Amino acid sequence: MSRSSSGVDPTSVGHHDPEERLRALLDRGTTRLLTTGLAARGRVDGAPVIAFAGSGGAPDARNIVTAVDTAVRERVPVIGLWSDAGPPLADGMSALDAAGQVFAAVVRASGRVPQISVLLGPVGGAAAYVPPLTDVVIAVRSPGSSPAVVAPDSDQALVEARRIALLLGSQGRVSPDDATPGGTTGVPLHTLVPGGTESTYDVRPLVRAVLDDPGTELHADRATNMITTLGRLAGRTVGVVASNPARLGGCLNPAGAEKAARFVRMCDALGVPLLVLADSPGLLPGPGPDDATHQGAKLLHAFAEAVVPRVTVITRRVYGGAYLAMNSRSLGATAVLAWPSTTIAVTGPNTAVDLRHRRTLAATPPAEREPLRARLLAEELDLTSASRAVDLGLVDEIIRPEDTRRRIAEILAATPAGRGNHTNIPI
């Protein structure tokens, strides 16, 4: 996406004039102020948006509420640019009431229109609670920040805001004929997933190859065993949830489950179809006795509640609770696809053999033990194969890796659009 159509020189983004910031964000010549320099109607790559710049206090609050309510009426994304420390203490109780009015407006808009916050500087006081109530937070890199998207500078933060507003606000239509085997990367998908269930690899190249373009990863520095990315597939915006074997072997842990649950609920609330790339050996407990079940339940709930089209592709193996949590057939997935060598089981085949046949193996003479174990493992692999999963109704179809993009696109094209009737509460 080009920034050449935006307003002023991006080096002016660091200035504190709100109107300059708005003009830097929006397409050149499209800024139309709704209020006195703090909120505006405009376009991002030709798509309509509402934007505001402010921090807090009664005057800012009125402008922010106007911007958010206007975005809801017009059903377009709203982008908030934040950079000030908050309202002055002299505002007293009026500042508290003003903050409450902003909170209420943002919550009213939650799940109805995309809400994007851009932190161009420190935000303090009650105003600091507004961005976490929105869908995506973008921040210039700073110590201790934990936004969804980290940008190296203010100009790049605006580029990311424009990109995400376009993905969420102008989602496009899927065209299976445009689903070339390797996306824009042209990389054969099977080369991005190693053989053998114990090998580790970074799933991000696979995510990029499945999408039309690299997409935008959210919370890239948090719970990296679970990748959440917004991008386009065959021309249509999708949200990708992918287990990442490069971290914790791809196991699902409480932090990863919570991260994915928030992303799934955002996509469902905003009508974004979901694609799940599953390759996980199971669940990991958290530091507290209830962490794994509590956080894992959030992801189960998010998928089971979602009404958007959602397709799962099992690329290598899924075991135990990870199979269920990664958008399984039993949770109402639109379709579950599997690559040919996939295994699905309660636990890994090697572990299953050792547990199920431990007495038989122990009683077998040492010279015969390994051949017996190899035969038992082959039987276990047959019982946990993709074809067996199809017979049981756990998998809808076995596909070749090179057909992945097209089959996903065909399924999305044939599935009625859906959109969850809920807000996007921070979890």
| CATH number for 407 | 3.90.226.10
Residue 211 and residue 314 in one domain = yes
Mean of all residue pLDDT scores within the chain = 87
Indicate the residue among 140, 169, 198 that finishes a domain. 169
Residue 151 and residue 294 in one domain = no
> 287 in a domain, yes or no?
yes
Burial class (CB in 10 A: 0-12, 13-18, 19+), 48: middle
> 201 in a domain, yes or no?
yes
CA–CA distance from 417 to each of 236, 269, 270, 290, 307 (Å)? Answer: 12, 12, 11, 36, 9
| Distance (Å, whole) CA 387 – CA 397 | 9
DSSP bridge partners of 338: 314, 398
153-162, 284-293, 294-303: which range is least confident on average?
Answer: 284-293
> 331 in a domain, yes or no?
yes
Return the residue matching tokens 């809801």: 72
Residue 12 — very low, low, confident or very high, per pLDDT cuts 50/70/90? very low
Residue range of the domain that includes 45? 10-169
> 83 in a domain, yes or no?
yes
Residue 393 and residue 275 in one domain = yes
Average pLDDT estimate for 184-205: 88
Residue 297 and residue 192 in one domain = yes
> 374 in a domain, yes or no?
no
Residue 225 and residue 146 in one domain = no
> 420 in a domain, yes or no?
no
Average pLDDT estimate for 398-412: 97
Residue 157 and residue 217 in one domain = no
CA–CA distance from 204 to each of 66, 224, 357, 373 (Å)? Answer: 39, 10, 38, 35
pLDDT digits (tens, 9 = 90+) for 14-49: 445 788 889 999 999 999 999 776 899 999 999 999
Residue 65 and residue 161 in one domain = yes
Its pTM surpasses 0.75: yes
What pLDDT does 191 receive?
94
Residue 403 and residue 276 in one domain = yes
What pLDDT does 6 receive?
55
Indicate the residue among 169, 204, 228 that finishes a domain. 169
Residue 196 and residue 342 in one domain = yes
Average pLDDT estimate for 161-168: 98
Residue 138 and residue 180 in one domain = no
Residue 214 and residue 320 in one domain = yes
Number of domains in the chain: 2
pLDDT digits (tens, 9 = 90+) for 308-319: 999 999 999 998
What pLDDT does 302 receive?
96
Indicate the residue among 169, 186, 205 that finishes a domain. 169
Burial class (CB in 10 A: 0-12, 13-18, 19+), 365: exposed
Complete DSSP assignment for 218-278: ESTTS-TTEEEEEEEETTEEEEEEEE-TTTGGG-B-HHHHHHHHHHHHHHHHTT--EEEEE
Residue 310 and residue 226 in one domain = yes
